[in-house]
Amino acid sequence: MQYQADVTIELKSGMLDPEGTTIKRALEHLGYKTESVRTAKKYTIDLQAENVQTARETVEQMCQKLIANPIIHNYAISLRELQ
C-alpha cells in the first residue's frame, strides 16, 4: 500500500528561533500585534508499506535518524493511505 506522511518539525520550547523573531518584528512594523511567532518545517513523504503501522514506524525511524534532531526538535507525524 502507498501512504503519505506529513512530518512537522518544530523547535522545542526554550530554543531560540531567530527566523520567528524576525518575522514577529516585521509583522509589528506592518501594524500587526502578536504574542509570539514560531517557525516550523513540514515534510511530505510518500512511501510504500505493508500496513499503516509499518508506515508509521518507518517514518518515525526517518525522523529519529535524519529529519529531526531530538535534542532541539519536536515532531508530529500525520499519516494517510493514498488511493
Q: What is the CATH number of the domain that holds 57?
A: 3.30.1280.10
Q: Global pTM?
A: 0.87
Beta bridge partners of 40: 10
Domain of 29 in residue numbering reads as 2-81
pLDDT in tens, 17-64: 999 999 999 999 999 999 999 999 999 999 999 999 999 999 999 999
Q: Where are the alpha helices (DSSP H) in the chain?
A: 18-29, 52-62
Residue 63: how many other CB atoms lie within 10 Å: 21
C-alpha cell read off for 7? 512530518
What's the number of domains the chain is made of?
1
